[in-house]
Structure 1
């Protein structure tokens, strides 16, 4: 069932959002300072491509909070906005409701990815 859900997810916008994560990751990895941020982007891109069957647990400490602060300022807000928009558009249709709910889950990850453990 999760394979079918992941295929529907990719068709309904997951591919574009995963590409956005990857593009942001490449841009951040150009600078030495942005490499930790960029590496987290690549992990999130993989989850964004196939979110069904993946779980995100949030934790972290002061270092994660500081990294999330800079993340939100640099690019987290527009990635989260993309997921919220995708979630709203997917929830309009009956078949897209599960994908819409995954979009809202991924919006939280896009807002604060540091300190999150993806399993």
Structure 2
């Protein structure tokens, strides 16, 4: 891991990563308890790990994502996605007020699409080529 990514991740964790990860973890646990929504729970817990330590990693669409991911994303958007996206938006507004928080506010805004539609996405290192597996 690059030293700059380490510093950014530690600051992120202190300023907002921990709280946003708790939101995703709560959504994931609720989804896993409801049995039928376990795929949503797994996706939420995967994103919780990403939200804890995001710098040096990114998300991309999976090549094998199909219609089931699309339908699942619509259900996720209605049930939990907009709450989590609202959390990212409010956190980014609070961070943007401070000068040191502006890069973190921008990073929060970049996480809104994955919070709205997490199925059919994967988390990869930023230095990994787009098409490589």
Task: Please state which band the TM-score falls in when normalised by the shorter chain.
Answer: over 0.9
Which structure 1 residue ranges, 4+ long, deviate > 6 Å from structure 2? none
Q: Distance in 1 between matches of 2:69 and 2:96?
A: 31
Q: CA deviation at 1:61?
A: 2.5
Q: Which among 85, 92, 98 is matched to residue 90 of structure 2? A: 85
Structure 1 stretches of 5 or more lacking a match?
none
State the distance in 2 between where 1:14 and 1:107 align: 14
| Residue 32 of structure 2 is aligned to residue 29 of structure 1 | yes
Please give the alpha-carbon distance, in whole angstroms, between the structure 1 residues aligned to 2:121 and 2:8. Answer: 23
Q: 1:63 is matched with which residue: 57, 68, 72?
A: 68
Structure 1 Cα separation of the partners of residues 116 and 92 of structure 2: 15
Match of 1:45 among 48, 54, 62: 48
C-alpha separation in 1, matches of 2:110 and 2:118 = 12
Aligned partner of 2:130 in structure 1 is none
Larger Rg: 2
Secondary structure of residue in 2 paired with 1:57: strand
- Structure-2 residue corresponding to 1:4: 7
**Aligned Cα RMSD in Å?**
1.1
Match of 2:129 in 1: none
Q: Once the 2 structures are TM-superposed, how far is the Cα of residue 58 of structure 1 from its aligned partner?
A: 2.5
Report the TM-score when normalising by structure 2: 0.85
Matched, 1:114 2:126: no
Cα displacement string for residues 90-109 of structure 1 (whole angstroms, at most 9, x for unaligned residues): 12222111111110111111
The structure that is helix-richer by fraction is 1
